Amino acid sequence: MQVKLTSVLPGDPADGGAAQLPQTVAECHAVIAQLIERVKLLEERISLDSNNSSKPPSSNGPGSPNRAQRRASERKRGAQPGHKGHSRAMLDEAEVDRVVECKPESVCDCGGQVELTPRAQRHQVFEVPPMRAQVDEYRIYSGRCTGCGKPHAGVLPAGVPKGQLGPRALSLVGVLGTRYHLTQRKIRNLLDQLMGLSFSVGAISQAHGKVAQALKTPVAEAAASLGSADALWMDETHYPREGIANWVWAAVQPLLAVLAIYPSRARYVILDFIGAKCSATITTDRYAGYAFIDTERRQICWAHLLRDLNRIGQRQGQAGRIGRRLLGLALVMFRRRDKGELSGAKLEGLKRRMRAALERGAQQQPCSRTANTCANLLKLWPALWTFTTNPSLVPTNNAAEQALRSIVLKRKISGPTRSLRGDQFLARGFSVHESCLRQGRDLWEFMHSAVYAFIANTAPPSLMPEARPAAAVPTG
């Protein structure tokens, strides 16, 4: 029997201010099922954290355990019994800038003479001397030939910029804005307080632009090498410019990291970034923008997968049971890999059990979100196991995420950029910072070499790992 319901509920003003209730019991059941599914979705969204989604640990909230509360070891912090201590060695007397003799009074209170021991106890204090910027004045003369009247003018020496900041000062501004995540205002204040350099925030911004120009050629050379790489790790994160929703992309090799800022996450960005003919095996998350890459030369990040499976395992009913089964199998994969046992029959058995669980998840009907996730993983199935046949790969995308970590900290501290100049400084500056970090090179030395070469119009240093020697820079 069908029951007609004539009451109305408040609805969207665009619908006339009221919405009709379902007219039959069957329609009521359908609406209730939709509302139940919506409640489940909203409850799951509220419970998202860094353990079951891509949200950062800082968003977990005060109720979540911090790193100190989830320590793996029960031992006390610090050095353990039997640990050999470390201390700073005394500098040789030839390296000491000043020696101050501290002798006691020559006569004791009793009137006797104080006899000194042959050797004194050495105590060294390291102090920062007062700093003041070196200011060089260049007087440029001009004149005219008395014979033909041709004008002549002096020129600045090689390596002397036309602006007010020299190569070392520009390099310092670049290092402070990248490795140390300082804002332009803080850089201005630091230079003023320590060295008496009183510049405007606009001058610091212009200095960032000059550093970005100096790093253009080295970073472009590194970016050109992405297309011929054997393996790449890629990731992206949001980094807005005022009025533009920009994204910063990272493509990482073992000794090289290249970052670039684009206004989109679309497929064309990936092709422009690494090249349409790139043949590298690429490790990524499951973002659909990478779907054009053949699964045979793609590795899916299992760290992302663990969070997805953890979220499925927190659901109710059959979906939750399947999620917990998949999560357990994923953890078994990591344990066997760490022990060097992920091969042969053990690997095939693990793959067989995991595929069976994914097929059950894709076929179950109560939770469509679980079914979609499992179906997507089955579609990407070969890309889950590429690392087992390619020894240069690992099952996670941690290399790309680690390369983005510094620039994410910069984003949290400085906020969005305001110009293309700021985007270029961040992308090129952090490309150099992350690459130097991986190669064990000194960021200050490399940036100084690049800035000096740019000002002197000479060949810049190379960021490529095989070209370690930097361009010659005067020591003065």
Tens digits of per-residue pLDDT, 70-122? Answer: 556 677 777 888 888 777 888 998 999 999 999 999 999 998 999 999 889 99
pLDDT at 426 > cutoff 80: yes
How many CB atoms within 10 Å of residue 117? 6
Nearest to 376 by CA among 366, 365, 368, 387: 368
The string of pLDDT tens digits covering residues 229-278 is: 999 999 999 999 988 899 999 999 999 999 999 999 999 999 999 998 99
Instruction: Give, as one character, the DSSP assignment of residue 18.
Output: E
In Å, how far are 5, 263, 269, 353, 453 from 286, measured between CA atoms? Answer: 46, 20, 17, 21, 42
- Predicted pLDDT of residue 63: 64
Cα(154)–Cα(145) distance, rounded to whole angstroms?
A: 14
Q: Are 465 and 256 in contact, with CB atoms under 8 Å apart?
A: yes
Nearest to 436 by CA among 279, 281, 258: 258
The string of pLDDT tens digits covering residues 283-306 is: 999 999 999 999 999 999 999 999
**Which is higher by pLDDT, 22 or 407?**
407
- Predicted pLDDT of residue 17: 47
| Mean pLDDT, range 400-425, rounded to an integer | 94
pLDDT at 413 > cutoff 50: yes
φ/ψ (deg, to 5) at 100: -115, 120
Instruction: Give, as one character, the DSSP assignment of residue 114.
Output: P
According to DSSP, the residues that pair with 260 across neighbouring strands are: 249
